[in-house]
Amino acid sequence: MIFNRPEETARGLAILREARPERLYVVSDAARAHVEGEAQLVEGCRDLIEQIDWPCTVKKNYARHNLNCGIRVASGLHWFFRHEPKGIVVEDDLLPDLSFFSFCEAMLEKYESNKEVMLVSGRNNLGQSEGRASYFFSRTVNPWGWASWARAWQHYRFTCNYWTPQTRPLYQEILQDTDQADFHDYNERQYQGRLLDTWDIQWTYSVFRQKGLSIVPKVNLVQNTGFHPQGTHTHNDFDLRAALPAFHLPAPLVHPEKIGYEKSGLDFDRQNFLLEQLAALKNPQVLSTIYRMYRANSGASNAALHERYKDVIPYLYPLAYPQESRDILVKLKPHLPGNEFLENLLHFFENQLQQSPKAYETMKP
C-alpha cells in the first residue's frame, strides 16, 4: 500500500528487496485535488515501483482519482484476494523485521485450512510476551503488518451495519472481558450506518462476527513510523506504540500446544486494550477530572456529560484501573528507554496509587 510518502516507500522497498517476494501487488491511491504538490509525491512513490530490481512479478492497482483511505485500502485488498488465496499486507509507513515475512509465510501455510484462524499479525504492542511458544492466539485485529487468506477476507464488509441487540452478548462471549465487550459495543453503535474513512475497524468487527482468532508473535515484528501530525489516522507522535521497535523472531518456530483462546491471548488482549487508550493520554490530569465528573453524576446531568465528552470516553478506561495501567507501562519501559511520555504517565499512575489506591476500584467508564 503506497500513497504520498516517497521516503517511507523507499525504506519499505529496501526491506522488500531483502525479503525478495516473487510476486508483489501494489495498491496506490490518487492525489487529492485540493492538496498542493501531492500529485508529484504520488508520482514519486509510483516511480519507485518502476525501479524494483529483483526477480519479481509486479501487479499494480492505481486509482485514477482519490478514493480516500477507507475505500482505497478495502478495494485494494478485494483486488489482491481475488488474485491470491493468501498473502502478506504491509503499508508504506511500516518497517518490518525480515523475520516477519518468514513468520507470516509459515503461519499461512500451517493454518491455511483452519477457518477459525483468520489473520496473522506482525505487531505485538507490548513489545514482548512471556511463554515458550513463538506465538499465541488472540482476538486482537492489528492492521500494522499482517497476513491472511481469501477464505477469511470474504467475510469483510465495508459498511458499518453490524450492530444488533445480540452484539454485546456476542462480544462478552468471545472476549471474556466486560470492559472490552462494553467498549466495542459502544463504538459499534456509534459507527452504525456511517461511511467511515477507514477500513480496519470494519475488519475487526468482521473477524469478531466469525469468532475468529488472530495469531500474535511473541515479540513485536513491525515498527510503525506513521505517527505524526500529518498521519491519516495516527496523529499523535507521542503515542507509545509509535516508539516501539521491531525485534527478530528466532527460528525454528515453537508452536503452541493448543489452538484456541487461552490465557496468553486473554491476558494480551486485556493489556493491549488498555494500552491503546493509554497511548492517547497526553493530558491524564485533564481526563482524570472528566472521569471523576462523569462517575459522580447520574441521570440527565450524566447524559449531558456523556454527550459533551463522548469523544474522550473510550480513553477513560486506564483511569479506572491504575494498577493495571502502571504494570503495562512498567512492562513497556525496557523497550522504550528514555521515553519522556512513558515516564510522565508512569509518574501519574504511581501518584494515583499512592494517594488513593482504592479510589477507582468500583468505577468504570
What pLDDT, in 10s, does the model give residues 309-353? 666 776 788 888 999 999 999 999 999 999 998 999 999 899 889
pLDDT at 190: 83
pLDDT at 303: 63
Helix, strand, coil content of the chain in percent (nearest 5): 45, 10, 40
Q: Distance between CA 346 and CA 339 in Å, rounded?
A: 11
Positions in the chain short of pLDDT 70? 227-238, 283, 286, 290-311, 314, 356-365
Q: Distance between CA 147 and CA 107 in Å, rounded?
A: 9
C-alpha cell at 114: 483452519
Q: Which of 59, 125, 126, 69 is nearest to 92 (CA)?
A: 69
Angle, CA of 91, 142 and 122, to the nearest 5°: 70
Could you tell me the domains of the chain?
A: 1-66 (no CATH), 84-272 (3.90.550), 284-355 (no CATH)
Q: Which of 133, 135, 208 is nearest to 177 (CA)?
A: 208
Q: Distance between CA 280 and CA 74 in Å, rounded?
A: 26
Given strand 117-121, what is the order of strands in its sheet?
86-89, 146-149, 117-121, 213-217, 135-138
Q: Distance between CA 312 and CA 310 in Å, rounded?
A: 5
CB 239 within 8 A of CB 279: yes
What is the CB neighbour count within 10 angstroms for residue 51? 8
pTM: 0.91
pLDDT at 296: 67
Residue 181 makes CB contacts below 8 A (sequence gap 6+) with 168, 171, 172, 175
| Phi, psi torsion values for 219, nearest 5 degrees | -125, 155
